[in-house]
Amino acid sequence: MATLSHTLPSASALPILQPKTFTSNSIKCCENQRETVKLSNNGLATFPEKNTLPSSAAATVRPPRPRRIILVRHGQSEGNLDETAYTRIADPKIALTEKGMAEAEECGLEIREMIEQDKIENWKVYFYVSPYRRTLETLKSLARGFERSRIAGMRVEPRLREQDFGNFQDREKMRHEKAIRMLYGRFFYRFPNGESAADVYDRITGFRETLRSDIDIGRFQPPGDRNPGMNLVIVSHGLTLRVFLMRWYKWTVEQFEQLNNLGNGKIIVMEKGYGGRYSLLMHHSEEELRDFGLSDDMLMDQDWQKFARPGELNYDCPMMNSFFTHFADEGCKT
């Protein structure tokens, strides 16, 4: 089942990557684990100076990591259908179209079908969602595929909002600004009275740290219910989700700028690999990820992510060889 769809930027064409075969035989990782957070028996982080519990009770086992982090772009909105909507309706108030609601409901059924293939009886979902109307409506339609007992909770997260393009938008002026952005650079160009993708990166960095903390302490799982079948679903916007992936996997600006946008109501899945880290290659095929815009270096790193453990570093990072071109000369020296 294909779950990854994209739309190409209108202002310029992205370079086509030629498929190459890659292997992980030469990829090595360190064995050092980062120090884990000690947890109390109710799943909350412990302050040592206030801990009155016996050491055996305080040092409980860390909650299982969620099986997946599923990124969802909102369904078709009024602004996707008619760009003039942004000239009269505030961006946060743009609603879904009927088609967008149907896309979101279909997306929910697709996510449920994917989760049920795990054959885990007590699986659940937890939602993070942008506060914009179109994302909230997407979540409402998407969640129709889940009964109450399957939904562990939800959080409306302002840091997941759309890139700010500058309040009410003049259609012709915005087209001009987007053309300039392609010349200046999609990541660093800041819209007048708005944001650049770099600004979005800064707030997504804060959200990522919140998310990692939630995962580490099992905040979305009640005490005593450490469910390995937990799935996190993030409902947001195209650029915001691409920036989230960039921040999570430490992609470069150049790598970000070659990514394509997800289609409305489409998903990209970060699934837990064999060592506990999240990899896009656990769910998506290499072909799907190439269509999304991943390069050979990025695919090699995703292959490493499939087997690595949390806290490990990829000391044979493929970007090292592509960035530092003088390495090829070392073998010629005598």
pTM comes to 0.81
What are the residue numbers of the active site?
A: 74, 162
- What pLDDT, on the 0 to 100 scale, is given for residue 315? 81
Q: Which of 205, 239, 52, 231 is nearest to 125 (CA)?
A: 231
The pLDDT value recorded for residue 274 is: 97
**Are 234 and 128 a contacting pair, CB within 8 Å?**
yes
Helix residue ranges per DSSP H, 225-268? 238-249, 253-257
Q: What is the pLDDT of residues 120-169, one digit of tens each?
A: 999 999 999 999 999 999 999 999 999 999 999 999 999 999 999 988 77
- Report pLDDT digits (tens) over 169-202: 777 888 888 899 989 998 999 999 899 999 999 9
pLDDT, residue 318, reads 75
Largest CA distance in the chain: 70
37: confidence class by pLDDT, cuts 50, 70, 90? very low
Average pLDDT over residues 97-121: 97
Annotated binding residues:
73-80, 134, 173
Residue 266 in tokens: 């489409």
Confidence of residue 7 (pLDDT cuts 50, 70, 90): low
| Predicted local distance difference test score (pLDDT) of residue 225 | 77
Output the pLDDT for position 168.
Answer: 77
Residues 6+ apart with CB under 8 A from 170: 87
Residues annotated within the binding site for substrate are: 73-80, 134, 173
Share the mean pLDDT of the chain.
84
Judged against a pLDDT cut of 50, whether residue 14 lies above it is answered with no
Cβ-in-10-Å burial (0-12, 13-18, 19+) of 294 comes to buried
| Cα–Cα distance measured from residue 72 to residue 233, given in angstroms and rounded to the nearest whole number | 7
Region for 276 from its dihedrals, namely left if φ exceeds 0, alpha if ψ lies in -120 to 50, beta otherwise? left
When pLDDT is cut at 50, 70 and 90, the band that residue 234 belongs to is: very high
Over the stretch 250-296, which tens digit does the pLDDT of each residue have?
999 999 999 999 999 999 999 999 999 999 999 999 999 999 999 99
Q: Give the per-residue pLDDT at 28.
A: 42
| pLDDT at 3 (0 to 100) | 56
What is the radius of gyration, based on Cα positions, of the chain?
21
Which of 96-105, 111-120, 159-168 is least confident? 159-168
- Give the pLDDT band (50/70/90) at residue 60: low
